[in-house]
Amino acid sequence: MANFVIIGAGECGARAAFALREKGFSGDITLIGTEPLAPYERPPLSKGGSSEPPEPKFIALLEHYREQSIDLRLDTTVTAIDPAIKTIRLADGEALSYDKLLLATGASARGFPGVDGVSQRIRVLRTHANAVALHAALYPGQHIAVIGGGFIGLELAATARTRGADVTVIEGQPRVLKRGVPEAIAEAITQRHRQEGADIRCGQVIEAIQEDAGKAMVRLSNGETISADLLLVGIGALPNVALAAGAGLAIDNGIAVNERLETSVADIYAAGDCCSFPLALYGGRRVRLESWRNAQEQANLAAANMQGEGAEISAVPWFWSDQYDLTLQIAGLADEAVTHVRRDLDDGAFILFHLGVDGRLLAASGIGRGNAIARDIRLAEMLIAARAHPDHTALSASSVKLKSLLAA
């Protein structure tokens, strides 16, 4: 009987384990995670302003793993992979053999240069334990400083303000959300934060971070020092590749896989935040995506290909963020676009369509309250997948339904 092992019990790893069963795999499945909690959703960790401590949103109950005969091993560390004999070794010395291995090791919060680890006053957010610790510090009278104006930093800034804490966001770039988000949408997000009383500071260079007298101190290059009760470092994430690199797998901004999620070593696959892959929709360029949907989609793809289906990556990249009452969604990759067409919707919502030099729709970015943009972004995603060359006038006119462009 075949034995499949999955290292990484996050969104991608857990979904892959269940997908294997859904696709008819009857062999042994071992799912290994380093955290003591059963696999849970990570997006809720940075969102919401409830006064109650965050509860993990589990992907499945423990009995579901037992019902599906998935051997879930929590609080367990894999120390090495030996592809020559198809074996992994655990920290307690146990060796497990595999026929197919999936690496879904995710990513870790990037630390600030020169600051070792985390402390009572300096923290990161990546796990439920991190979220619980942060939640305890978010209340009126506290001053929270956030380094990084990306999705995580801004979502936490919104959460902190919702709970009544004072917030200062420090961003080194000229604006927030510099990577992958159009300026018009970044400006709308910035103004919403400022309306809520958050202090957003862009173009700031940090010279030093230290703790002093029970405070986190951030010294800027202009001579100013920002004192905070808590400092959150939210400057991105690094893919967890140590195991793969130690086993001789190719690394390229993550574990390098092909369009079928196969690594450079036979019978080892990688999926989710930890891997980079070629995207045919964008000329085969290699990308690495840190997103909830990508983790789910690649979980299903990995499960299919571990059983020999040979399916290839075809999904359109998609991201979203909730901040206060605003929802931001992006479909596709806009960095190679040369033309940008705006469609205004009701209640201040709008969508930007990003087209390449040949007029092909490459991406769509939108912002609005609640679900104001959800339907149009979904239709834009379908147009992107179809490699459509829509008319600019039709894109900008809210009276023209995107569904009609898709039919055309």
Taking Cα atoms as reference points, which of 293, 323, 277 lies closest to residue 155? 323
**Mean pLDDT across 106-132:** 85
| pLDDT of the residue at 49 | 62
* Residue 202 pLDDT level (bands cut at 50, 70, 90): very high
Mean pLDDT of 114-136: 83
Beta-carbon neighbour count of residue 290 at 10 Å? 19
DSSP for 157-203? HHHHHHTT-EEEEEESSSSSSTTTS-HHHHHHHHHHHHHTT-EEEES
Q: Which residue, 24, 105, 11, 20, is CA-closest to 71? A: 20
DSSP percent split of the chain into helix, strand, coil, nearest 5: 25, 30, 45
Q: Which domains are assigned to the chain?
A: 3-108+237-306 (3.50.50.60), 111-233 (3.50.50.60), 325-407 (3.30.390.30)
Q: Identify whether the C-beta of residue 237 lies closer than 8 Å to the C-beta of residue 253.
A: no
Question: For 8-27, how does the pLDDT look when each residue is reduced to its tens digit (9 = 90+)?
Answer: 999 999 999 999 999 999 99
Q: What is the mean pLDDT of the chain?
A: 94
∠ CA 45-50-54, nearest 5°, is 40
Residues 256-278: what's their mean pLDDT?
98
- Least Cα distance to 14 among 28, 1, 30, 36 occurs for 30
What is the C-alpha to C-alpha distance for residues 139 and 153, in angstroms, rounded to an integer?
17
Closest of 200, 189, 205 to residue 145, by C-alpha: 200
User: Which range (53-57, 103-107, 160-164) has the least confidence?
Assistant: 53-57
C-alpha to C-alpha distance for 234 and 283, rounded to whole angstroms: 31
**CA distance linking residue 399 with residue 77, whole number of Å:** 55
- Vertex 52 angle, CA 227 and 292, to 5°: 85
**CA 22, CA 38: separation in Å to the nearest integer?**
20
Q: Is the dihedral of CA 307, 309, 313, 316 positive or negative?
A: negative
Q: What is the pLDDT at residue 316?
A: 96
Residue 46: predicted pLDDT: 82
d(CA 80, CA 242): 9
Instruction: Give which of 97, 88, 70 is closest to 14, Cα–Cα.
Output: 70
Contacts of 115 (CB under 8 A, 6+ apart): 122, 209, 233
Q: What percent of the chain has pLDDT over 90?
A: 86
CA 152 from chain centre, in angstroms, equals 9
CB atoms within 10 A of CB 83: 18
pLDDT in tens, 206-252: 999 988 888 999 999 999 999 999 999 999 899 999 999 999 999 99
Tokens of 344: 């205004």
What are the C-alpha distances in Å from 319 to residues 15, 310, 343, 364, 376? 19, 26, 19, 11, 14
- pLDDT for the residue numbered 116: 64
Report the interhelical angle of 151-162 vs 183-195 (nearest 10°).
20
Q: What is the pLDDT of residue 298?
A: 98
Task: Please count the residues of the chain.
Answer: 408
How many CB atoms are located within 10 Å of the residue 406 CB? 15
Among 220, 9, 4, 217, smallest CA distance to 106 is for 9
pLDDT band at 134 (very low <50, low <70, confident <90, very high): confident
- Residue 141 contacts residue 227 (beta carbons within 8 Å): no
| Residue in the block written with tokens 């610790």 | 133
